[in-house]
Amino acid sequence: MKSFPTRSYQDVRDALLSRREIALLDVREEDPHAQSHPLFAANLPLARIELDAWTKLPRRDVPIVLLDDGEGFAARAAVKLDALGFSDVALLEGGLAGWIRAGGEVFRDVNVPSKAFGEFVEAQRHTPSLSAEEVHALLAGDAPVVVLDARRFDEYQTMNIPGSISVPGAELALRARALAPDPATRVIVNCAGRTRSIIGAQSLVNAGLPNPVAALRNGTIGWTLAGQTLEHGAARQFDAEAGRDAATLAPSREAVRALADKAGVRRTTLDEAARWAADSTRTTYRFDVRTPVEYERAHAPGFQGAPGGQLVQETEMFAPVRGARIVLFDDDGVRANMTASWLAQMNAEVYVVDAVDGFNADALGETGPWRAAKPAAPAIAAITPEALAARLAQPDHGTVVLDFTSSANHVKGHIPGAWWTLRSHLSAGFDDLRALPDARRYVAVCMTNALAPFAAPEIAALTGKPVEVLEGGTAAWQRAGLPLESGDAHLASPRIDRYRRPYEGTDNAREAMNAYLEWEYGLVEQLGRDGTHGFFTV
């Protein structure tokens, strides 16, 4: 195996403090990452490197530092990144343990930079908030009040404050004036916990909304802890034209443009952003912060869809290169400027393509969802769903199906008898495959056949047995009308691919919710100890 250089804790820290480009990547699965990692370590699991690297690391010679906790994942990830054309790959000296020994601060949970920033904003700006009991009383009273849920629509549908409306993230600044046209109407912003409640409410305050504004303190967690009932399956959303009439749009646009300018946001054009994307000396991310529907209808080439609220909530996942240049686009002059104002306060170099005169509609020449660039999959023998079904129906078929989708997808529905497996555990250091039935051959599957072809050669190398991939993946099996089974009876690997948030679902222990809130309250103190963030407020 090719050897790679190491970079020390102090070297990485110096790069962060000086705002030099660096991608500090934790290549473990999401759950171990969430247990302990440096503040700006973005999670890029070894298992998904071929699928995600070229999108998340758009410059091939960007300085990359990989870490694990002694499992050997970082060295394996370095080999993969080298094969993908990345030329400046190093390993963190001593891994996570080395970081800690050197005095580095470590954080729990996911999307920590954004969550810590939310707590920083509240501490600095004293964002107004109301308790769950106070909001419940307001909703039961006669005073006009509207509750706006700042999460993604799918999160809102899972559980929401009764009567609330789904208005994700950056949509708040564009839509709130239309949703609460009477300045006497109180506007409450909520999320599941704290971050998006705080950032959403402060966005409306910063945007000069004339209404009284408050965050729902502790979000749906606080609502649940107060013993109050949540709705499930609601479908209330803002109207697509809300906030776009001239009388409503003008004050929103003016206020948010002034806010972005104050935060240090700069201006650019689509043509200049395209030239930057081709610059081999700087990393440039280009994001379209409109809704997914708008993005898929038409967007500028090279711009990835990243709804503004989620971009602020998951910044290190969308743009893991710290010190990179970020370009944002919308068509209204509100959402991109609001999003940019927050990213700038998170110490990022941010530009906005002016919606008024920075582009013309003809420049939005692409349609459909974002299509991530990725390498060609290895040439592997394939089998159709029908042929695999016929084979599995034979006695003593000797075939073991290995499923590399997410564990959640596997439990929801998989090919009967398929074993769920972590691709990162396909090495001699793990025993995941040894407990499986004897096999004469293996079939690799995932939901859409994106990941399985990359896993197949690794299965063959580890077992010495022939391996096929299922054409079209589990989705094709299902389209063929073949049966699925559900449940977790066939897990060859531990379910560590996803960290379960304490606020997910409504059956979580009160202790877990309270512990999560206590953790969030402590983030500002942790930021102070870490000292690399560079956050500020305007």
Helices (H), 314-395: 315-318, 335-345, 385-392
**Vertex 287 angle, CA 284 and 289, to 5°:** 155
Q: Round to whole Å and give the CA distance between 91 and 120.
A: 31
Contacts of 396 (CB under 8 A, 6+ apart): none
Residue position matching structure tokens 């935060």: 263
* Structure confidence at residue 396 (pLDDT): 92
Beta carbons within 10 angstroms of residue 482's beta carbon:
16
Q: Round to whole Å and give the CA distance between 383 and 115.
A: 45
Residue position matching structure tokens 């596997």: 410
Angstrom CA distances, 112 to 43, 93, 353, 497, stand at 11, 22, 28, 18
3-state secondary structure of 154: helix
Encoded tokens for 100: 């800690």
Q: 82: exposed, middle or buried (C-beta count within 10 Å: 0-12, 13-18, 19+)?
A: middle
120, 194 Cβ separation under 8 angstroms? no
Q: Round to whole Å and give the CA distance between 135 and 161.
A: 10
**Vertex 39 angle, CA 203 and 222, to 5°:** 50
Q: Round to whole Å and give the CA distance between 21 and 16.
A: 8
> Sign of the CA dihedral 171, 173, 175, 176?
positive
Render the burial of 488-500: b for 16+ CB within 10 Å, e for the rest: eebbbbebbbebe
Q: Round to whole Å and give the CA distance between 507 and 495.
A: 19
Q: Round to whole Å and give the CA distance between 111 and 310.
A: 10
* Structure confidence at residue 506 (pLDDT): 45
Per-residue pLDDT 10s for the chain (538 aa) are 789 999 999 999 999 999 999 999 999 999 999 999 999 999 999 999 999 999 999 999 999 999 999 999 999 999 999 999 999 999 999 999 999 999 999 999 999 999 999 999 999 999 999 999 999 999 999 999 999 999 999 999 999 999 999 999 999 999 999 999 999 999 999 999 999 999 999 999 999 999 999 999 999 999 999 999 999 999 999 999 999 999 999 999 999 999 999 999 999 999 999 999 999 999 999 999 999 999 999 999 999 999 999 999 999 999 999 999 999 999 999 999 999 999 999 999 999 998 766 667 778 999 999 999 999 999 999 999 999 999 999 999 999 999 999 999 999 999 999 999 999 999 988 999 988 999 999 999 999 999 999 999 999 999 999 999 999 999 999 999 999 999 999 999 999 999 987 756 545 578 888 888 899 999 999 999 999 999 999 9
CA 101 from chain centre, in angstroms, equals 29
* Structure confidence at residue 512 (pLDDT): 82
Residue position matching structure tokens 């954004």: 114
* Structure confidence at residue 2 (pLDDT): 84
User: Which residue segments constitute the domains of the chain, with CATH numbers given?
Assistant: 6-110 (3.40.250.10), 116-237 (3.40.250.10), 254-363 (3.40.250.10), 382-479 (3.40.250.10)
289, 311 Cβ separation under 8 angstroms? yes
User: For the CA atoms of the chain, what is the radius of gyration?
Assistant: 24
H helix count then E strand count, the chain = 23, 20
Contacts of 40 (CB under 8 A, 6+ apart): 16, 24, 113, 316, 322, 532
